[in-house]
A and B are shown apart, each in its own frame.
Chain A
Amino acid sequence: MELLRSLTLGQYVPRASPVHRLDPRTKILATTVLMVVVFLVKDFRGLGLFGAFLAAAVALSQVPAGFVLRGLRPIWFLLLLTLVLQVFFGGGGGSTVLWRLGPFVATREGLVQGLFVTARLVLLVVSTSLLTFTTSPVELADGMERLLWPFRRLGVPAHELAMMMTIALRFIPTLVEETEKIMKAQMARGAELDTGGPLRRARALVPILVPLFVSAFRRAEELAVAMEARGYRGGEGRTRMKQLRYRAQDLWAALVVLGTNALVLWSGRL
């Protein structure tokens, strides 16, 4: 029954590391840079350098390496599929045949290409999860809001998007807890949730989903009233308790990220 609790959604790992202390905007922008660079890198040397930089960042963030690797678990199948497809079809008509499987031909070029693409995916996932590991959901939403602020003249509802994100994230644990409670209550009345065929299992969800929806709507209504009662009227003229402020460490972090990534890209041109 602890299944739901171990769900790592919004998987923030509280630590007092230098990475955690950075301004969320710095981290969001740095992650964007990393995501672009990991797709621009063309060779293993660049990927290796990139990986080394990422490993250093993970070490600096004090997030346990096991935790970071656990984040790859949901996509292991995707990784495997990518690798297999690339081995057989990614060679681009390459000539070095490794082995044949009926009409399918595995090529050496395909294997190399497959390993490269898989490694790229792993690095992509690790760099984005480093952001969510080191930045609390609220900081993340704040950072997004501030970054989108200049675009509100173009009709981007920056504040509303951030508020929706904050509320959604805020209520994930609540809903998980609620689900767990309702599941337990129905199990105490003899409901069996994990036996029978697919149809039976689907029907067994009704006693959980109905109360969950009822309570989600009730909570939404209560939240709306509570927000209005405290004078909430959208983002206009709203001040914040925690002001985001760039500090020297953000400048240094930005320089390090830009520097290493320039090096990564440059190494490909040698």
Chain B
Amino acid sequence: MSEPVVMCEGLVHVYLRGTPFESVALRGVDLVIRRGECLGLVGPTGSGKSTLVQHFNGLLRPTEGRVRVGGVEVRPGSNLRDVRRKVGLLFQYPEHQLFEATVFDDVAFGPRNLGLAPDEVRARVRESLQWVGLDPDRFGPRSPFSLSGGEMRRVAIAGVLAMRPEVLVLDEPTAGLDPEGRRELLGRVRDLHRRAGLTVVLISHRMDDVARLCQRVVVLHQGRVFLDAPVREAFAQADELRSIGLDVPRATDVLLRLRAAGLPVRCDRLTVEEACEEIARVIRGNRSWSSSGA
């Protein structure tokens, strides 16, 4: 097992403590994220996902409990610059944070804040734009506000990647994108994880995306870890997930229904391709069912 990059122990977060608007977002979360893994963070709306990931780069500080990022404890007074450099956080609808006159300058915002030399900044901007599939020469000089929604989002992601984080946290990165844009974006994330060795935390309501990308799933519910398991084990617990308003990937859902209808398929298949193979395997090995059932 590789070393832990993010560790939470008994993490509690209370917003506006001591006012009439006090609300408890996290009630004791224990979580370890290891280098190089791709983690899916799911949970119903208001379960504390966004609050949790904001602790990973020191934007929020624990009310109680401890958070360590790459060996540095996140608390008032600790060196949060290093923490922010280690963990890149991409908020929902990140295209709303674009502000510069050109795409190049916007992506360069982070590296310039790090105080890098102009050559290094240029190199990082080009590299980051290429990572997200935008041609630096063609898009660099354009205004970010003249781009399409999907392109703007990719510019925003490049802006975070230009910080060269070790951990990339993506909060609902595909919300509002069309199917093509979603496939494209998830492909890019998968490349970053596999080729660049980035540790990825993906927050998503789309279980299909989580199943396709992640090796491990953490389910948050009412500010606590409800389930923390490898992706196949996690989605095998369909009833538990449904009891808190979540779902399983569509392919798994089809297999579960087939099984309920009497076809002896295994249900720990997560993608459409895997499900097809599984159904084909069972039908081929079970002629009697296919002749009587079809």
| A interface residues, Cβ below 8 angstroms from B | 1-2, 5-6, 13-14, 64, 67, 178, 181-182, 184-192, 206-208, 210-211, 214-215
Contact = CB atoms under 8 A, between A and B. Distances in A.
A6 B19 contact: yes
A211 B59 contact: no
B54 to A, nearest CB: 7
A210 B109 CA distance: 14
Contacts of B88: 188
A40 to B, nearest CB: 34
- List the 10 closest A-B pairs by CB distance, nearest first: A190-B113, A210-B99, A189-B110, A185-B97, A188-B89, A207-B99, A184-B59, A211-B99, A185-B91, A190-B110
Contact of B159 (A5, A189, A192): A189
A211 B96 contact: yes
A188 B59 contact: yes
Given A190-B163, A211-B98, A13 B20 contact: yes
A193 to B, nearest CB: 11
A65 B96 CA distance: 40
B218 interface: no
Most chain B CB inside 10 Å of its own CB: which residue of A67, A190, A206: A190
Nearest to A207: B99
B43 interface: no
Interface in B63-100: 81, 84-85, 88-89, 91, 94, 96-99
A185 B96 CA distance: 9
Contacts of B16: 2, 5-6
A211 B163 contact: no
Given A1-B59, A207-B109, A188 B99 contact: no
Given A184-B54, A188-B84, 4 more contacts: A184-B91, A185-B89, A185-B94, A190-B114
Contacts of B89: 184-185, 188
Nearest to A14: B20
B113 A182 contact: no
20 contacts: A5-B15, A5-B16, A5-B21, A6-B16, A182-B96, A184-B54, A185-B89, A185-B91, A185-B97, A187-B59, A189-B109, A189-B113, A189-B159, A190-B109, A190-B110, A190-B113, A211-B97, A211-B98, A211-B99, A214-B99
Contact of B85 (A13, A184, A190, A210): A190
B97 A191 contact: no
Nearest to B165: A188
B174 interface: no
Nearest to A191: B113
Contacts of A210: 99
Contacts, number: 69
Contacts of A189: 109-110, 113, 159-160, 163
B139 interface: no
Contacts of A182: 96-97
B91 A187 contact: no
Contact of A181 (B91, B99, B145): B91
A206 B57 CA distance: 23
A206 to B, nearest CB: 7
B227 interface: no
Interface string B162-196: 01000000000000000000000000000000000
B207 interface: no
Interface string B117-131: 000000000000000
A214 B19 contact: no
Nearest to B99: A210
B60 interface: yes
A206 B106 CA distance: 12
Contact of A191 (B15, B91, B109): B109
Most chain A CB inside 10 Å of its own CB: which residue of B96, B97, B109, B114: B97
A187 B84 contact: yes
Contacts of B85: 190
Interface in B11-52: 15-16, 19-21
A215 B96 contact: yes
A182 B16 CA distance: 20
Contacts of B98: 211
A1 B15 contact: no
